[in-house]
Amino acid sequence: MKFDVKTLETDALVIGGGTAGCFSALTIAEHSSLKVLIADKGHIKRSGCLAAGVNALNAYIGKGETPESFVEYVKRDSENVIREDLVYSIAKGLNDAAEKLEQLGLPFLKDESGSYVQRGKRSIKINGENIKPILAEALRKHENVSVLNYVNITEYLKKDGTVIGAAGFSLRENVFYIIYAKKVICATGGASGIYKPNNPTFSRHKMWYSPFNTGAGYAMGIRAGAEMTSFEMRFIALRCKDTIAPTGTIAQGIKAEQVNAKGEEYVSKYGKPTTYMRLYATVMENLKGNGPCFLKTEGISEETEKELFKAYLNMAPAQTLKWIERNIGPSKENVEIEGTEPYIVGGHTASGYWIDADRKTTLKNLYAVGDAAGGSPKKYVTGCLVEGEIAALSIIHETDDSKVSKLDSNEEKHLIQHVLHFFDNTDIKYSPPEIEQAMQKVMDEYAGGITTGYMYNKTKLKMAAVRIDELLKIAEDTKVHSLDDLLNLHETIDRLHVAKVLIQHLEARKETRWKCYQENCDYPNKDDENWLKYVNSVYKDGRVQIILRDLVGRDSRYEHTN
Amino acid sequence: MSIQIDKNKCIACQKCSNICPGNLIRIDQDQKAFIKCPQDCWGCTACLKECPSGAIKYFLGADIGGRGGSLFTQDHPNHIDWHFITKDSKNHKIQTKKDESNKY
Ligand SMILES: Cc1cc2nc3c(=O)[nH]c(=O)nc-3n(C[C@H](O)[C@H](O)[C@H](O)COP(=O)(O)OP(=O)(O)OC[C@H]3O[C@@H](n4cnc5c(N)ncnc54)[C@H](O)[C@@H]3O)c2cc1C
Ligand code: SF4
Ligand code: SF4
C-alpha cells in the first residue's frame, strides 16, 4: 500500500480534540498568537466521551463547599491516595470553567436569584446534549487553530529524550502525517475495551466509556518511556443494566435508593456509601444470591418519569428507547443496575500520566490533560477543562520563537516503516478483532474482570501477563489489508500495552481497600504503610519497572526531579 | 444496539459520515451512506441528529433487550424531536428543547 507523507509544523500540537483537548486549544488561541493544531481520530464536533452529550457538571464547588472541602471529599472517596496538589488546583478553577461553558452557550438551570441549581453538593444541572458542538464552534472562530479530523495518532516523535511532535495516519485516505511541534498535549482520553464488556456479542460497543478511546495516549507514553501512575485504580461504573446508561440521574436526581431482589436497601450493610462501595455492595449482593439489584423508582410521578425520559435522551438515548419500546417506564418498574467492565480513566479515578503542577509529563515538552492524566480522581468535565487550561497557560508561558527540532530523513523513514509495516506482514491466522477479544477474555478471567467479581491474585496475574505478551507478539506479526485493519490493529496493540502495564500495577499494590477497583486477594488485610504510596511505572527495554512514590500534599508545587 | 440507514430516504449529503466519532459510516457508489460494521456502533446518536432526512434509525440489539422498535430524530434550531416507532406501531414523540436544562 502506498502512502503520501505530509509533514506539518505547529507551535502546539493537541492530540485528541475531546473535552480537555478542545479547551486547551481554545485557551491557547484566546490568550496568544501561537499556532495550534488539533488531531483527532473522529470529528471534533462529536468526538470523545461526550458524543451523546453530558448529563450534569459533576465537579463544582456548590453552596457551603470550598476548594479545600472538595479536596477532602476526593481524598475520603479515594482512601487518601490522590495527588492532593493536583486536585486542589482543579478545585480552584471548577466554577470559572462552568461559567465559561455558560458564556460559550451551554444552557444551565438557574433559580430565581440567578444561581445555578445544584443536583448535589458538587454537581449542577445543565442541558449538555450540545457540549461538543459548542466547543468545536468556539474553536472555529480562531484563525490560529487548525484541525485534522479523522487522523489517528500512533507515536510521539522524540529527539534526545524530548518530544518534538507526533505521527499518525488518516483514516480516510492513504496519507501519513508527521507533525512537528514545540509543545505537545496528550488529550486522548482513557482506555476502554481492555476487559470483556457487559454485552460481548452484537452490542459489544454498548459500553459506558467511549469504545473509540482505546488508550492510545497512554500506550504512546508507555512506549516512549513516560512515567505512569495508579493504573491499578481502575474505574468500574455502576450502570443501568444492558443500556449501560448512567445511574446518577436517578440516584442523585430523584434520590432513588439501591434495593436488592427482596426490596431491601443494602448499601449501608457494607459501609460508607462511597462511589466504589455502592458498586461493591451490588456485586456482593449478587454473589450472595440477593440479586438482581435495582434503583427503586416504582411509584415516582408521571411527570418525573417524563423528565427522566428527556434527561436520558440528552445523554444516553438507549435507556429512553428501552422504556418506551417496552411500554414500562421507571414509575412502574424499578431500574436494574450492574457494574461495568473495568476501564482506565484518569478523569474518574487516578490512573494516567504522572504529571507535575503544570501538567507536564516526565517527557520533556509533553503535557497530559483530562482522562489521560493521572493523580486526580473526580475531574469530570469541568475538571478536564481546568486541566486543559493549566497546560495551555504553561505552554503560552514557555514557548519561544526558537526553531522546531526535526528528525533526519532516515529517522522519518524508519518511523513510517514502523507504523505501516503491518501491510508487509504475512501472518493472517488471526484478525485484529480476534486478538482484541482474546485479550478481553484473558483480562476478564485472570486480571479481575466481571466474571470473577473483579477479584484476582498473584497467580492469576502471572498467567494474564504471559498471555498478554504472547498476544503482543501475535499482533506485531499480523498482516493488515486496509486502513480499517491498520487502525484496529494499532488500537489492539495500544490496549495490549495498557494491559501489560496494568497487570504489573495490580500486582504491585498489595491491598484490597479500593473494593472492586483493586482487590488483590492475596492481601486481604489493611497495610497503611504501603497503602499510602503511589504505584508508578516506567516501561524500559521491554519491562515494566515499578516505582513507589511518597504522597504529595495539597499545598506543594510538584516538579519532576528524579 | 446500533443504527440502520434507509437508502431510499438517504439524500446522499454525507453529513452522518462526517460526524461519527468512530468513523463507522461510509459512502457507497451511489453516494448513499451505510454503516460498515453495525457491531462497532456506540449508540451516541450523533449521526441521527445530523441527518436531514430521518434516514437513520437507532435500535437496541436483541442481546440488550431490544423488541424490534426504533428511534429517529429531527433536528430543529431550538429543539430536537425524537420519534419512537414500536413493534406494534404505537408511535411516540418526545421533544427536548435545546435551551432547557435537565431537571434531574
Ligand atoms: C458516557 C460518559 C458520560 C459522562 N457523563 C458525565 C457527566 O454527566 N458529567 C461529567 O461531569 N462528566 C461526565 N463524564 C466524564 C467526562 O465526560 C470525561 O471525564 C471528559 O469528557 C474527558 O475528557 P477528555 O478530553 O480527557 O477525553 P475525551 O473527551 O474523550 O477526548 C478524547 C479525544 O481523543 C481522541 N483520540 C483518542 N485516541 C486518539 C488517537 N490515537 N489519535 C487522535 N485522536 C484520538 C478521541 O477521538 C477524543 O476526541 C462522562 C463520561 C462518559 C464516558
Ligand atoms: S450512533 Fe454514533 S457511533 Fe453509532 S454510527 Fe451513529 S455516530 Fe457512529
Ligand atoms: S445524513 Fe442522512 S441523508 Fe445524509 S448521507 Fe447520512 S443517511 Fe444520507
The Cα A544–Cα A534 span in angstroms is 15
The pick from B16, B39, B42 for probing ligand 2's pocket by mutation, whose C-beta has the most ligand atoms within 8 angstroms, reads B42
Residue of B nearest to A246 (CA): B104
Q: Interior CA angle at A331 toward A327 and A337, to 5°?
A: 90
The Cα B96–Cα B94 span in angstroms is 7
Residue A369 near residue A16 (C-beta atoms within 8 A): no
Looking at chain A, the number of H-run helices and the number of E-run strands are: 16, 20
Residue B101 near residue B38 (C-beta atoms within 8 A): no
Q: How confident is the model at residue B104 (pLDDT cuts 50, 70, 90)?
A: confident
Residue A157 near residue A8 (C-beta atoms within 8 A): no
Q: What is the pLDDT of residue A530?
A: 87
Q: Which helix (H) or strand (E) holds A520?
A: strand A519-520
Domain locations along chain A: 241-339, 409-531
The Cα A208–Cα A159 span in angstroms is 38
Cβ of A325 within 8 Å of Cβ of B102? The answer is no
Separation of CA A49 and ligand 1 centre (Å): 3
Cβ of A46 within 8 Å of Cβ of B39? The answer is no
Separation of CA B47 and ligand 2 centre (Å): 6
Residue with CA nearest ligand 1 atom 30: A48
Cβ of B1 within 8 Å of Cβ of A203? The answer is yes
- Residue A509 — φ and ψ, nearest 5°? -90, 110
Which string of DSSP letters, residue by residue, matches A257-276?
PEE-TTS-B-GGGTSS--HH
Residue A109 near residue A117 (C-beta atoms within 8 A): yes
Q: What is the pLDDT of residue A116?
A: 94
Residue of B nearest to A192 (CA): B42
The Cα A413–Cα A421 span in angstroms is 11
Residue with CA nearest ligand 1 atom 38: A188
Q: Which of chain A's residues have a Cβ under 8 Å away from the Cβ of B67?
A: 325-326
Q: Look up residue B19 and give its three cell numbers.
A: 460526524
B23, B66, B70 ranked by CB distance to A42: nearest: B23
Per-residue pLDDT at B99 exceeds 90:
no
The residue type at A264: E
3-state helix, strand, coil in chain B (%, to 5): 10, 35, 55
For residue A50 and ligand 1, the question of a CB distance below 6 A is answered with yes
**How many distinct structural domains can be found in chain B?**
1
SS3 A310: helix
Residue with CA nearest ligand 2 atom 5: B41
- What average pLDDT does range B24-50 have in this prediction? 96
Separation of CA A225 and ligand 2 centre (Å): 35
Point out the ligand nearest to the CA of residue B42. Answer: 2
Q: Look up residue A552 and give its three cell numbers.
A: 504529595
Ligand 1 atom nearest to CA at A372 = 26
Cβ of B23 within 8 Å of Cβ of A41? The answer is yes
A172, A321, A327 ranked by CB distance to B71: nearest: A321
Separation of CA B19 and ligand 3 centre (Å): 11
Residue of B nearest to A128 (CA): B101
The residue type at A318: A
The low-confidence residues of chain A, meaning pLDDT below 50, are none
SS3 A438: helix
Per-residue pLDDT at B89 exceeds 80:
no
Q: Helices A317-326 and A302-313 sit at what angle, rounded to 10 degrees?
A: 140
Q: What is the pLDDT of residue A427?
A: 87
Q: Which of chain A's residues have a Cβ under 8 Å away from the Cβ of B2?
A: 202-203
Cβ of B102 within 8 Å of Cβ of A249? The answer is yes
Q: Interior CA angle at A230 toward A228 and A234, to 5°?
A: 120
Q: What is the pLDDT of residue A515?
A: 93
Separation of CA B38 and ligand 2 centre (Å): 9
Ligand 1 atom nearest to CA at A22 = 25
Sheet arrangement for strand B79-85: B2-5, B56-59, B70-75, B79-85, B91-97
Q: What is the pLDDT of residue A50?
A: 96
Cβ of B42 within 8 Å of Cβ of A203? The answer is no
Q: Which of chain A's residues have a Cβ under 8 Å away from the Cβ of B34?
A: none
Q: What is the pLDDT of residue A491?
A: 98
Distance from CA of B4 to the nearest CA of A (A): 14
Cβ of A321 within 8 Å of Cβ of B103? The answer is no
The number of angstroms, rounded, from the C-alpha of A542 to the middle of its chain's C-alpha atoms is 25
Q: What is the pLDDT of residue B90?
A: 77
For residue A40 and ligand 1, the question of a CB distance below 6 A is answered with yes
Fold of A241-339: Flavocytochrome C3; Chain A, domain 1 (3.90.700)
Per-residue pLDDT at B87 exceeds 90:
no
Range of the domain at B63: 2-100
B22, B98, B99 ranked by CB distance to A212: nearest: B22
Q: What is the pLDDT of residue A253?
A: 81
Q: Give Cα separations from A480 to A3, A194, A426, A470 (angstroms).
A: 14, 21, 9, 19
Task: For chain B, give the longest Cα–Cα distance.
Answer: 45
Separation of CA A500 and ligand 3 centre (Å): 41
A475-500 confidence digits (pLDDT tens): 999 999 999 999 999 999 999 999 99
Cβ of A307 within 8 Å of Cβ of B104? The answer is yes
Closest CA to A3 of A420, A488, A424, A426: A420
Query: What residue has cell string 454473589?
Result: A287
Residue of B nearest to A108 (CA): B101
Whether the model clears a pTM of 0.95, i.e. scores above it, the answer is: yes
Residue A387 near residue A186 (C-beta atoms within 8 A): no
Q: What is the pLDDT of residue A532?
A: 96
- Four-CA torsion A202, A207, A212, A213, nearest 10 degrees: -150
Q: Does ipTM come in above 0.90?
A: yes
Q: How confident is the model at residue B43 (pLDDT cuts 50, 70, 90)?
A: very high
Residue A150 near residue A177 (C-beta atoms within 8 A): no
The Cα A441–Cα A449 span in angstroms is 9
A171, A304, A308 ranked by CB distance to B23: nearest: A171
Q: Which of chain A's residues have a Cβ under 8 Å away from the Cβ of B39?
A: 202-205
Lining ligand 2 with CB less than 6 A are B 3, 20-22, 24-25, 35, 41-47
Alpha-carbon torsion (A132, A133, A134, A139), positive or negative: positive
Q: SS in 3 state form for A82-138? A: CCHHHHHHHHCCHHHHHHHHHHHCCCECECCCCCECEEECCEEEEEECCHHHHHHHH
SS3 A469: helix
Tell me which of B58, B98, B103 to substitute to probe the interface with A (most A C-beta atoms closer than 10 Å).
Answer: B103
* Domain CATH number, residue B80: 3.30.70.20
Closest CA to A129 of A400, A282, A312, A345: A312
Cβ of A52 within 8 Å of Cβ of B18? The answer is no
Selecting from 3.40.50.1860, 2.60.98.20, 1.20.58.100, 2.30.30.60, what CATH number does the domain A409-531 have?
A: 1.20.58.100
Q: What is the pLDDT of residue A334?
A: 97
Cβ of A324 within 8 Å of Cβ of B19? The answer is no
Q: What is the pLDDT of residue A119?
A: 87
